[in-house]
Structure 1
Amino acid sequence: MSLKVTVTGDSPEAPYEQVRAQIADQARSGALPVGYKLPTVRGLAEELGLAANTVAKAYRALESDGVIETRGRNGTFVAAAGEAAEREAASAASAYAGRVHRLGLDHAAALAAVEDALRAAYGTDRP
């Protein structure tokens, strides 16, 4: 198994987002197992023909999402993303529930807003 990332210039997504999404997908699918050591920022940037700051931005976003973890000089590794992602989603859902309650929205309106946001995020007709 190895990291497979391709960046295309004609994509509507920014290069850092292409890198972030592909690494996240591979980590969540198990193609990159927990503990897999990722290339250095500079190494991956050179391999992809990108600026180091572009790859660093992707790595920061992945770390913020709990997909990867940096262990100082030891490198950057795939984290146990499922648990971190589920915890973050639960926290976001709790914050959202509190906010819509304060706004006075009923249950149906709150769910409709979430479904609209999911459709927009995933680009589908169903949440």
Structure 2
Amino acid sequence: MIVIDPTSHTPPFEQLRAQYVAAIASGELPPGSRLPTVRRLAGDLGVAPGTVARAYRELEASGLIETRGRHGTFVSVDENAALGQIQRAAAAFAEQVRGLRVDTDQALAAVSAALRSTGADQTHT
């Protein structure tokens, strides 16, 4: 269940996006699951439709959901979409590291520290 914490310092669209990412990753929302319309979810959560629309746009850009016109918005059936995005980001990061002539161990330590500081690796601790 998606819940927006109005007292959080995290913007509502990011709270929504992160909760959908977690629900998709955990299998709570399996591929092909239909998501609520922007207006319905905004009304249910008490947020502006633009907030939901932004979260949906970011999820779609990352390949986790897809909009099928008037048919609605669904969890992507491409289960490797997130992995593909991570691989592209890693390749870009590796290229940047090489360009900066940073030691591989230092680069990996920086990534590890960044993941810990954002809580991104909490599912693997």
TM-score by length of 2: 0.89
Partner of 2:105: 108
Give secondary structure in 1 for the equivalent of 2:66: strand
Pair 1:45-2:42 in alignment: yes
Deviation larger for 52-61 or 114-123 = 114-123
**C-alpha distance 122-82 of structure 1, shift in aligned 2 (>3 A):** farther
TM-score, normalised to structure 1, is 0.87
Corresponding residue number in structure 2 for 1:55: 52
User: Is residue 2:54 matched to residue 1:64?
Assistant: no
User: What 5-or-longer segments of structure 2 have no aligned partner?
Assistant: none
Structure 1: runs of 5 or more not aligned: none
1:12 aligns with 2:5: no
The one-character-per-residue Cα deviations of 1:55-85 (angstroms, maximum 9, x if unpaired) are 1011111111211110111110011364011
SS for the counterpart of 2:97 is helix
Count of aligned pairs between the two proteins: 124
User: Runs in 1 of length 4+ with deviation above 6 angstroms?
Assistant: none
Partner of 1:87: 84
Question: Aligned residues: percent identity?
Answer: 47
* 1:43 shift after superposition: 0.8
Aligned position for 2:70: 73
- When the two chains are superposed, the root-mean-square deviation of aligned CA atoms in Å is 2.1
Shift of 1:12: 2.2
Q: Secondary structure at the match of 2:6?
A: coil
